Amino acid sequence: MDSAVLTWIVAIPALGALLLSVIPEQARTILRSIAVAVAAIPFFLALRVWNAFDTSNGGFQFVERSEWIPQFGISYFVGVDGISLLLVLLTVFLTPLVLYSSEDSIHQRLKGYLVSVLLLETAMLGTLVSLDAILFYAFWELMLVPMFLIIGIWGGQRRIYAAIKFVLFTMVGSLPMLVALIYLGFHHLDGPSFALTDLYGIQLTQTAGLWCCFAMLLAFAIKVPMWPLHTWLPDAHVEAPTGGSVILAGVLLKMGTYGVVRFVIPLFPDALPVFMPWVAILAVVGIVYGALVAMVQEDLKKLVAYSSVSHLGFVMLGLASLTAVGVSGSVYQMLNHGISTGALFLLVGMIYERRHTREIAAFGGLWKKLPLYASAFLIVTLSSIGLPGLNGFVGEFMILLGGFRADPVTAAIATSGVILGAVYMLWMFQRVMFGPLDKMENRVLEDLTPREIIVLAPLIALIFVMGVYPKPFLDTMEASVATTLTYASGQVPATSRARAVTSTDGDCLEAAGSKVAGCTITAEPQLPAHDGNGHGANAHEGKAGVGHLHSEDPHAGHAHEGSAH
Amino acid sequence: MVETQHIAEQTAVAASFLRYIPLAPLLAAAIHMTFGARAGRPFVNVIACAAVALSFIFSCRAVLELAQAGGGTFLLDPVYTWIDAGGLTVDLAFRIDQLSAVMCMIVTGVGFLIHVYSTGYMSHDADFARFFGYLNLFTASMLVLVLGDSLPVMFVGWEGVGLCSYLLIGFWYEDPAKASAGKKAFVVNRVGDAGFLLGMFVLFWAGAESGHASLRFADVNALAPGLSAGVAALAAALLFVGATGKSAQIPLFVWLPDAMAGPTPVSALIHAATMVTAGIYMVARLNVLYLAAPGVMEVVATIGGLTAFGAATVAIVQNDIKKVLAYSTVSQLGYMFLALGVGAFGAALFHVMTHAFFKALLFLGAGSVIHALHEEQDIRNMGGLRAKMPITWITFAVGTAAIAGVPGLSGFFSKDEILASTFDSGHWKLWALGVLTAGMTAFYMTRLFVLTFQGEYRGKREKYEAAEESPLTMTSALIVLAVLAAAGGYLGVPEVLGGSNFFAHYLEPVIGHHALHMGHADEIAVMLISVVVGLGGIVIAYRLYANGPGPDATFAVSGRGLHGTLGNAYYLDTAYDRFVVGGIGALAQVLWRFVDVVVIDGIANGIGRATAALGGSWRHWSTGNVQHYAFSILVGVAVLMLAVALGVAR
């Protein structure tokens, strides 16, 4: 495999953006073609990574590492495990489609838009492959800028309000996260290190663990968004242009859930039993609340936005279950939601371009005039409500199964989301597609254009493939999910170099100043040896593998003050 | 048949052709939906029927191979591993044992007849390709439901048939009422499906506790006897919620009468013969689990008995030909659950089969009438049609007699077995309810028959003049079904009448042996009572309605409140609309307009404004000098780190 392939995947969109910036604005077709071509490169590179990926290895692969700020233990450190690889694939899959569809939805300043989307792709990919906490944070914040511009420049009427709300909400969460990350990095025993592989298994005091976990959960919960921190989302979606909504729903929201998988679950085994039941409760509130509010929306986009609150509630529920099946279901559902909701926003955008309204009441009887559009919409709708045979079911089923293990009552309430999901989606579908075609404006509508078919076809194909044959995706993530949950159970494998950290006051700053020499940088991460077999370990043996992972390490989390010195 | 594997007490025999049973109609559906409209009507008609015929042939082969394989075996086609992650393993595997064989024969056999009938019924509809696409997709889903070797695979079919039901009820989507009926069916079914899901979760984790987390039927039935009473009851009850949805039992039956908005062949296939029996099939499939939960069995029997009775009372006052049949279906499904609840799984399945014959026949006959009268469905505007459509008339008479329990016809045998088992198990109240229901069934069906075919025509003259017997594609299906409705009962003639009860014995490898304890004299007596009650119902209805629907007016006046209550199915729908639908809608509005917009956004915006005000007073900090900013950031980071080190690390 090519060296530095992940770096290339991350960098190519930004380089493409640079290239675009020297092409004149008037050359719309050329601009768009180049953008799509550029975005296709990371897609194919990521496919090659997937092809060469060792699914039996739950650790990080394709790792690249070089010093960045060695004094602080900050490095350029990237790599993927099965979980981040799948989300990378989702990102590089959706972005070209968004760029390609921009011809229909972006009528002004196309160049700036394409540049923004490409920069956003770089930021998203960077966030996903970062294995250094500071690098992660840098990319995390970098995502805000292009998204802010996309909403603020190419958005609807209240775009400024929505854009600022989006940024402010996110920032409120990210600053405490930065503090927590810095704290963690300076509590690494062998000098400051922000490498995730060093931080996993880090021993924190009870209080510190709780606070850091809370800070990071807050940041991620806002991004997801979890109830009651979700109100930025409907505004952002309604104002964002179609492509912005697709990326926002498709990838950006997953950064929150991904953060939980990558940071919260493996880093804070002792805080998990404290927070996860609450996360589960908020997730279930989000599922029901999002569904109920979606039910009474009058604007198509707002309806889909609230449906995201509900769907992401499912994802958080699965993560909070801390069961292998629940977490796997959540990761799968992240992909499904990206595809289904991305497709829904594209479909809403397509009808908006025709009618210049998204009011549900403005439609009715569209099936008669737009059978192809309606059929595509129906498939995506069914995917969204988790019909077996389509992608959404697999994830939802696994999530609820895992959630039921953790707490049957919350899972039972969450299952009502399955009913409510059918209610709001089918009612919307009925009002738009069924009934008489009685509005004059709707009688002249044209069915899908070839370009629109090209955009939708891959999404719909994946909806079927992932529903019928989820194996390649589930196999990719399985070992990584198992590894993550090993950390969550507080079992730090012997190979881990992280040890108990002394934490007398002021030690941290001292460490920042003087322990530079202790900072080790290794080229290869030393992950717990999982003997490449996450399958056998937990699959068919009943209790041990599928059970709820309780914190089983009695001494974990009680700070061993001074012991390590 | 190369390899065998041992599962529980039964041995699986590999039979990789089973997959073609659902695959044939699935492919046909894909063909219809992609280029059926362009390929033309004859092409679609042929493909649609041929696909189901192919399934039927493969089903026959399966039945033969099953017989050859001998006792204690079943056929298994493990197609591939569908889900395998985190300890959950679900194989997409198909299974033919005696139980699924019977269901397969019903689905493909009756299904084939209804497909043929549909080619005639839909011959004027421009949207034929979409129709047959849905209909074939339904057949495929139903076959997955029936053939699935595990609960999740069954659930795929379970939701698949729900989807097709939704699409077909709302087939004429331009009518908002029909579209709404489809949505209602889907949503109400989803309520049941939620129970199904939770039931699966209970079983999965119970299996994990005992070391084998699996949702295969063989494993679940092996696990069930060892379950604690509470867990078994919870799982059985939750799954039964699913059954009440799909099989239209109290309290979730409300979708089925509305489902009559779909084209009539759909009502015959989905809402009478096949899909609505899925709940019965599921309970029979999990018979070991249900036997381990005796309390739930009582609930099943009671719900079944009450549904049978309640729906029959409603059917008496309906005037829409399809509504009568719809409530009749709800009622007959109640009988089947009654049988399940008293442990007579074989009797339940026997009634599934005979009901598929005579109810499909009745619906198709009704469709023939509706077709002839150009969408007239009100029996008050019918009458005297026997002269116009003799085949429909005769076959409908056979169907009516069969469901009314006229001795010798199929319904007599199956209903008698249910009532005898109920009485035998000591549920004499439910038995009395069942007998009463039998009388009412005979009454409302005779009323329907007489008002439709006998006497004088009462509707618009020109409709009558234009009416004629349906084409051969439709009548041939009627004739075959009439033969089955008449003779189908002889598969299960009870021993007391000199038969061998072949049907029940055939199913024994799957559902176990069930014998009556009472003596032959008692059995005969019980049988005679229901026969007399049934014949009484026929005679009374015939005499009352021979001259038209006049007596209804008398009932309506004399029992004003009751008549209204029955006519509106005990106002259950109204109550759901007002309290459940209305309540949820109001709650949703409050959550959105108050909690979201006022409370949460109010707080967020309030903080925003406060910050802005604060920022205004600090404006002089914004000097535009980069060095100042850099310094501020440095100070800020230092302060943060200090705070962290001091505060958090304690």
Chain A, 466 to 525: residues with Cβ < 8 Å from chain B are 468-471, 474-475, 477-478, 481, 503, 505-509, 512
Of A289, A397, A474, the CB nearest to B591: A289
Q: Tell me if B335 is assigned to some domain.
A: no
Domain that holds residue A459: 5-488
Between the CA atoms of A339, A342, A346 and A352, what dihedral angle is there, to the nearest 10 degrees? 140
Q: Tell me if A505 is assigned to some domain.
A: no
Asked if the Cβ–Cβ distance from B87 to A538 is below 8 Å, we say yes
Please state, rounded to an integer, the average pLDDT across all residues of chain B.
89
Q: What is the pLDDT of residue B455?
A: 87
Of A187, A208, A418, the CB nearest to B190: A418
Q: How many domains does chain B have?
A: 1
Measured CA to CA, the distance from residue A478 to residue A331 in angstroms comes to 10
Question: Tell me: the pLDDT tens digits for A185-213?
Answer: 888 777 788 888 888 888 888 888 899 99
Q: What is the pLDDT of residue A27?
A: 83
Q: What is the pLDDT of residue B369?
A: 94
**Among A319, A400, A390, A468, residue whose Cα is nearest residue B199:** A400
Q: What is the pLDDT of residue B485?
A: 95
In Å, how far are A313, B264, B303, B391 from B268, measured between CA atoms?
Answer: 40, 6, 24, 18
Q: Note every long-range contact of A167-175, with CB atoms under 8 Å and residues 24 or more positions apart, other chains counting.
A: A168/A232, A168/B608, A169/A222, A169/A225, A169/A229, A169/A232, A169/B604, A170/A144, A170/A222, A170/A223, A170/A232, A171/A144, A172/A222, A173/A218, A173/A219, A173/A220, A173/A221, A173/A222, A173/A223, A173/A229, A174/A137, A174/A140, A174/A141, A174/A219
- Please report which helix (H) or strand (E) contains residue A65, including its range: strand A61-69
Q: How many domains does chain A have?
A: 1
Min Cα distance A419 → chain B (Å) is 5
Please name the residue ranges forming H helices in A297-407.
300-321, 324-355, 366-369, 371-384, 391-406
Q: What is the pLDDT of residue B30?
A: 95
Measured CA to CA, the distance from residue B334 to residue B324 in angstroms comes to 15
Asked if the Cβ–Cβ distance from B650 to A505 is below 8 Å, we say yes
Angle A208-A522-A519 from CA coordinates, rounded to 5°: 50
Give the residue from B138, B252, B592 with the most A CB atoms within 10 Å of its CB, the best one to mutate.
B592
Q: What are the chain B neighbours of A296 within 8 Å (beta carbons)?
A: 585, 588-589, 592
Has residue B646 got a pLDDT over 80? no
Asked if the Cβ–Cβ distance from A509 to B641 is below 8 Å, we say yes
Asked if the Cβ–Cβ distance from A389 to B156 is below 8 Å, we say yes
Min Cα distance A9 → chain B (Å) is 28
Question: Tell me: the pLDDT tens digits for A250-290?
Answer: 999 999 999 999 999 999 988 999 999 999 999 999 999 99
A104 close contact with B: CB closer than 8 A: no
Asked if the Cβ–Cβ distance from B644 to A168 is below 8 Å, we say no
Q: Tell me if A172 is assigned to some domain.
A: yes
Q: Which residue has the higher pLDDT, A559 or B296?
A: B296
Q: Which residues contact B230 (CB under 8 A, 6 or more apart)?
A: none
In Å, how far are A13, A50, A239 from A45, measured between CA atoms?
Answer: 12, 9, 33
In Å, how far are A217, A307, A504, B649 from A205, measured between CA atoms?
Answer: 18, 39, 11, 7
Has residue A38 got a pLDDT over 70? yes
Give the residue from A206, A230, A296, A331 with the most B CB atoms within 10 Å of its CB, the best one to mutate.
A296
Q: Tell me if A524 is assigned to some domain.
A: no
Asked if the Cβ–Cβ distance from A434 to B176 is below 8 Å, we say yes
Question: Tell me: the pLDDT tens digits for B186-214?
Answer: 999 999 999 999 999 999 999 998 888 89
Q: What are the chain B neighbours of A232 within 8 Å (beta carbons)?
A: 604
Q: Tell me if A413 is assigned to some domain.
A: yes
Predicted confidence band of residue B617 (pLDDT cuts 50, 70, 90): low
Do the beta carbons of residue B114 and residue B484 sit within 8 Å?
no
A422 close contact with B: CB closer than 8 A: yes
Q: Are strands B73-85 and B10-14 parallel, antiparallel or unpaired?
A: parallel
**Among B57, B27, B32, B53, residue whose Cα is nearest residue B42:** B32
Percentage of chain B lying above the pLDDT 90 cut: 66
Tokens linked to B531: 């026969």
Question: Tell me: the pLDDT tens digits for A2-13?
Answer: 578 999 999 999
**Among A315, A339, A341, residue whose Cα is nearest residue A329:** A315
The edge-to-edge listing of strands for the beta sheet with B4-7 is: B4-7, B10-14, B73-85, B88-96
Per-residue pLDDT, averaged over B16-23, amounts to: 94
Do the beta carbons of residue A459 and residue A94 sit within 8 Å?
no
Tell me if residue B4 falls in helix, strand or coil: strand
Write the Ramachandran bin of B221: left for phi over 0, alpha for psi from -120 to 50, otherwise beta. alpha
Has residue B628 got a pLDDT over 70? no
**Among B565, B548, B558, B334, residue whose Cα is nearest residue B441:** B334
Q: Which residue has the higher pLDDT, A496 or B84?
A: B84
Q: Tell me if B173 is assigned to some domain.
A: no
Tokens linked to A37: 């071509």
Percentage of chain A lying above the pLDDT 70 cut: 86
Domain that holds residue B630: 573-617+626-648
Residue pairs between chains A and B whose CB atoms are closer than 8 Å: 218
A288 close contact with B: CB closer than 8 A: no
Q: What are the chain A neighbours of B601 within 8 Å (beta carbons)?
A: 231
Q: What is the pLDDT of residue A545?
A: 35
Per-residue pLDDT, averaged over B34-57, amounts to: 93
Q: What is the pLDDT of residue A529?
A: 38
Has residue A507 got a pLDDT over 70? no
**Among A101, A111, A114, residue whose Cα is nearest residue A449:** A101
pTM: 0.89
A122 close contact with B: CB closer than 8 A: no
Q: Tell me if A164 is assigned to some domain.
A: yes
